[in-house]
Amino acid sequence: MRNDEYGKTQVEIQFTLPIDETLLHHKTNAEFKAKEAFVLELLRQGDISSGKAAKLLNISRWDLS
């Protein structure tokens, strides 16, 4: 955990999985889906606003609903 320039706590989650060459092209999509799931869970729990969730996912608030 670390704080950003505004004093907000940031959490970075990392994990390692063995991936053979045929699955490597799915890595980017899997990373986005993991981020998306985490952000949507924060939104569902009420920990972040829909505007913040949309910003983190680089989509509009309208696309979020």
Q: Which domain holds residue 59?
A: 26-65
Question: Quick check: is 43 in a domain?
Answer: yes
28-36: which pairs have CB atoms within 8 A and are 24 or more residues apart? Answer: none
pLDDT confidence of residue 56: 95
- Number of domains composing the chain: 1
Instruction: Give how far the C-alpha of residue 53 lies from the chain's centroid of Cα atoms, to the nearest Å.
Output: 9
Question: Quick check: is 52 in a domain?
Answer: yes
Alpha carbon distance 14, 30 (integer Å): 13
More confident call, 3 vs 61: 61
Question: Quick check: is 56 in a domain?
Answer: yes
Please write the tens of the pLDDT for every residue from 5-36. 677 888 888 888 777 776 777 888 888 899 99
Please write the tens of the pLDDT for every residue from 42-64. 999 999 999 999 999 999 999 98
Question: Quick check: is 31 in a domain?
Answer: yes
- What pTM value is reported for the model? 0.64
